[in-house]
């Protein structure tokens, strides 16, 4: 079943602008992760935020998590043409030790126009 829903489905902005993508989910989670996928390639892990964290930064990326609203956002600042890709949120609703079972959203297709 699809846990995450992403908004918008597609986003087109000018190079240098900021891009914001949102993700909502349905159940309690252990952590939420964001991945990027370039066309025809596998997914690349961007950032992981745990359920007890509210905000996390990595370079030009900023992720927020609001567990009361079951939502997360990914902000990419000062966008570049190379940021053009699909972005997916994924939730890990499991607990304890052991491997994850990530549930992915449908993704946001981001296009950066030069």
Partner 1 sequence: GAGVSQSPSNKVTEKGKDVELRCDPISGHTALYWYRQRLGQGLEFLIYFQGNSAPDKSGLPSDRFSAERTGESVSTLTIQRTQQEDSAVYLCASSASRGGRNQPQHFGDGTRLSIL
Residue among 14 and 99 whose Cβ is closer to partner 1: 99
Provide the phi-psi class of 82: left if phi over 0, else alpha when psi is between -120 and 50, else beta: alpha
What long-range pairs does 36-44 form, CB within 8 A, spacing at least 24? 36/85, 36/86, 36/87, 36/88, 37/85, 37/86, 37/87, 37/88, 37/107, 38/85, 39/85, 39/86, 43/88
- Total residues at the site for partner 1 (CB under 8 A)? 31
Q: In the range 6-65, which residues lie near partner 1 by CB under 8 A?
A: 30-31, 33, 35, 40-45, 48, 50
* Minimum distance of partner 1 from residue 107's CB (angstroms): 5
* Minimum distance of partner 1 from residue 3's CB (angstroms): 10
Residues forming the site for partner 1 (CB under 8 A):
2, 4, 30-31, 33, 35, 40-45, 48, 50, 88, 90, 92, 94-107
């Amino acid at each position: 079943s699809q846990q995450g829903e992403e908004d918008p489905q597609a986003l087109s902005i000018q190079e240098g602008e900021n891009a914001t993508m949102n993700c909502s989910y349905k159940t309690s989670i252990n952590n939420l992760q964001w991945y990027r996928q370039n066309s025809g390639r596998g997914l690349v892990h961007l950032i992981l935020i745990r359920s007890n964290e509210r905000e996390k930064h990595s370079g030009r990326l900023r992720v927020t998590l609001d567990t009361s609203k079951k939502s997360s956002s990914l902000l990419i600042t000062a966008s570049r043409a190379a940021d053009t890709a699909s972005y997916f949120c994924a939730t890990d609703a499991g607990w304890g030790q052991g491997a994850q079972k990530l549930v992915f959203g449908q993704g946001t297709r981001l296009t950066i126009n030069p």
